[in-house]
Chains A and B, each alone.
Chain A
Amino acid sequence: AQSVTQLGSHVSVSEGALVLLRCNYSSSVPPYLFWYVQYPNQGLQLLLKYTSAATLVKGINGFEAEFKKSETSFHLTKPSAHMSDAAEYFCAVSPLRDKIIFGSGTRLSIRP
């Protein structure tokens, strides 16, 4: 069965520090992978997506993620955290090209 595991339900970093949010997936077919962000009281917004082209994917707001098939990982990074990055982040996999399976989410907090 296809699934997504996000390691760490809560991550806290200092402003200006590296952001690393971890995601591992399980899929029996080459997956499409996504990261979504949810700001308080808003819907989910697509941050970036992997669709079997380049393994390093760049998204909005300076985020990027690298697809590593050997590790079945799709970790999200940002070199320097801003206060405005505080939000909930969801990793997701789409093995069947219609339904998306979401992870449980990681809440990112930024310390001044």
Chain B
Amino acid sequence: DAGVIQSPRHEVTEMGQEVTLRCKPISGHDYLFWYRQTMMRGLELLIYFNNNVPIDDSGMPEDRFSAKMPNASFSTLKIQPSEPRDSAVYFCASSSGTSGRSYEQYFGPGTRLTVT
């Protein structure tokens, strides 16, 4: 299994630009999570999906952030417009809710976003 795939691995953009982060979960997993990690705030859950439906987006910092999951194998996190304070490492994770599983999450390698 290839694991959770994220692209790009690094993104450098200027303030005001649109940024799109991409994630491919592990095949067969029905939960997908987006996290943000910074030195100041640690690991924050932004939003998560179950069967492609957003369940909890209370962690999304503001309207500039949006996330979609058009199908079971693809999700995007978009920031428009981006600001320097959005600089962070963004992780995608997936898990299986199949009965009997323990819901452990598998993380991708992350996208390091720098907004100048």
Residues of A that sit less than 8 Å from B by CB: 32, 34, 36, 42-46, 49, 51, 90, 94, 97-100, 102, 104-105
Contacts and interface: CB of A to CB of B under 8 A. Distances in A.
Interface string B74-116: 0000000000000000010101010000111111111000000
A43 B92 CA distance: 9
A96 to B, nearest CB: 9
A68 B66 CA distance: 40
Given A51-B102, A104-B42, A43 B97 contact: no
A97 B97 CA distance: 8
Interface of B: 4, 31, 33, 42-43, 45, 48, 50, 55-56, 91, 93, 95, 97, 102-110
B48 A102 contact: no
B107 A45 contact: yes
Contacts, number: 49
Most-contacted residue by chain A among B50, B103, B110 (CB, 10 A): B103
B114 to A, nearest CB: 14
B106 A46 contact: yes
Nearest to B92: A43
B45 A43 contact: no
B110 A43 contact: yes
Nearest to A92: B105
A9 B33 CA distance: 25
Given A32-B102, A98-B95, 9 more contacts: A44-B105, A46-B104, A49-B102, A94-B102, A99-B45, A99-B48, A99-B56, A104-B42, A105-B42
A42 B102 contact: no
Most-contacted residue by chain B among A42, A43, A104 (CB, 10 A): A43
Contact of B104 (A34, A42, A43, A102): A34
B41 to A, nearest CB: 10
Contact of A32 (B42, B55, B103, B108): B103
B107 to A, nearest CB: 4
B103 A43 contact: no
B102 A43 contact: no
Nearest to A51: B102
